[in-house]
Structure 1
Amino acid sequence: MSAVHQPTIAIRCARSGELDCLYQLVTSNELWSEFNGPYFPYMSPTIEEFAATSFERMLLGQDMQLITIDDRPVGTVNSYWECEATRLLEAGVVLYDEKCWGKGIAAQAVPLWISALFARHDIERVGMTTWSGNPRMMALAEKVGLTLEARLRKVRFHKGVYYDSVKYGVLRSEWNARQA
Structure 2
Amino acid sequence: MKKNEVTIRPAKHTELETLYHLVTSDETWTKFNGPYFPYTTPSFADFSQSTFIRLCEGRTMQLIVLNGKPVGSVSYYWECESTRWLEIGVIIYDSSCWGKGLASLALPQWVSHLFAKLDIERVGLTTWSGNPRMMACAEKLGFQQEARLRKVRYYQGEYYDSVKYGVLRSEWEQRDS
User: Does the alignment reach a TM-score above 0.5?
Assistant: yes
1:78 equivalent among 49, 54, 75: 75
Distance 1:7 1:178 in 2: 19
Query: What is the identity, as a one-letter code, of the residue corresponding to 1:50?
Result: F
The 3-state SS of whatever aligns with 2:119 is coil
Pairs within 5 Å for 1:5-44: 8-44=5-41
> Is residue 117 of structure 2 the alignment partner of residue 123 of structure 1?
no
Pairs within 5 Å for 1:86-97: 86-97=83-94
Q: Which runs of 5+ in 1 are unaligned?
A: none
* TM norm structure 2: 0.97
* TM norm structure 1: 0.96
Residue pair 2:3, 2:105 contacting (<8 A) in 1 also: no
Query: What is the identity, as a one-letter code, of the residue corresponding to 2:64?
Result: I
Q: Which runs of 5+ in 2 are unaligned?
A: none
> Is residue 133 of structure 2 the alignment partner of residue 136 of structure 1?
yes
> Is residue 107 of structure 2 the alignment partner of residue 110 of structure 1?
yes
* Structure 1 runs of 4+ with >4 Å offset: none
RMSD (Å) for aligned C-alpha atoms: 1.1
Counterpart in the other structure of 2:63 = 66
Q: Deviation at 1:7?
A: 6.4
Identity level (%): 60
The 3-state SS of whatever aligns with 2:90 is strand
Distance 1:6 1:37 in 2: 28
Deviation track 1:76-119 (CA, whole Å, cap 9, x = no partner) reads 00000000011000000000111111101111000000001111
Query: What is the identity, as a one-letter code, of the residue corresponding to 1:102?
Result: G
Distance 2:170 2:4 in 1: 30
Pairs within 5 Å for 1:43-62: 43-62=40-59
Deviation track 1:104-135 (CA, whole Å, cap 9, x = no partner) reads 11110000000011111100000000000000
The 3-state SS of whatever aligns with 2:15 is helix
> Is residue 140 of structure 2 the alignment partner of residue 149 of structure 1?
no
